[in-house]
Amino acid sequence: MSRRTIFLSSSLGTTSRLWDAQVSLLEPHFGVLHAERRAERGVTMRDLAQQVIAQADAAGVERFSFAGISIGGAIGLELAALAPTRLERLVVACTSAHFGPPGPWQERAAIVRRAGVEAISDAVVSRWFTPAFHAEHPDVVRQFHDELEATPREPYAFLCEALGAYDVRNLLGSIRTSTLVLAGADDLAAPPEHDEEIASGIGCELIVLRDAAHLANVEQPQAFVTAMLHHLDEGAR
């Protein structure tokens, strides 16, 4: 049997490093590819899903699994609605079918264009991890903080605007791809009720990880990848 492929898609303002704790455990089972994002003026979440399909085509991959966190999870939901025949299994985490009205996202985009990502970095990173993780792992928090501040301002702003326009609540019932939803119990950026809405709309399993905020796979790496592998391995039986 040919080796399976999984695309990993990261949260806004993070890099592929977000998945470091999971990649070594995924690689014995999958060819692991990181979903690329080209953020241009007017880009939509559907466009980002189409970029994944184009990347799979370029790699010669017909069917694949997909796992995404936050904006990555939103791309996964768009992908499941857009190209269900291409997806084997889907894992979405700490995400939403609708991240709220466009106004706050447009305001964030304007701030970033005017003053850079560093103008919002402290507020954003404060919601990525629980207070306990901030206190116990300041070095890890600092690394993510630095990566966020290194994000170019225009692409970040374009993605903020895409998130403001994004709403797939009316598409959840049409998703037939076998899906697992993971949530951080202490996530303030995408609270568990957002993940509950996705799971209820699709009719799939929801797992809420304790002692985890928005980047739940960093705070609870083992619990996260264990749940992920169990779901993905069911597709190979």
The C-alpha angle 192, 14, 222, rounded to 5 degrees, equals 55
Q: Which domain holds residue 230?
A: 4-98+167-234
pTM of the model: 0.96
Contacts 24+ apart (CB under 8 A), 130-139: 130/186, 130/211, 130/212, 130/213, 130/219, 132/211, 133/213, 133/218, 133/219
Distances (CA, A) of 50 to 76, 173, 234: 11, 21, 26
What does the DSSP 8-state code read for residue 71? H
Q: Could you tell me which of 85, 79, 82, 37 has the C-alpha nearest to residue 62? A: 85
Among 198, 174, 3, smallest CA distance to 94 is for 198
- Confidence (pLDDT) at 235: 52
What is the CATH classification number for the domain harbouring 52?
A: 3.40.50.1820
Dist CA 84 CA 203 (whole Å): 16
Predicted pLDDT at 44 = 98
pLDDT tens digits, 59-118 = 999 999 999 999 999 999 999 999 999 999 999 999 999 999 999 999 999 999 999 999
Domain contains 161 = no
In a domain, 149, yes or no: no
Domain count along the chain: 1
Confidence category of residue 3, pLDDT binned at 50, 70, 90: confident
Q: Look at residue 26 and tell me if it is in a domain.
A: yes
**If we measure between CA atoms, which residue out of 114, 108, 74 comes closest to residue 91?**
74
Residue 136 lies in a domain: no
Residue 176 lies in a domain: yes
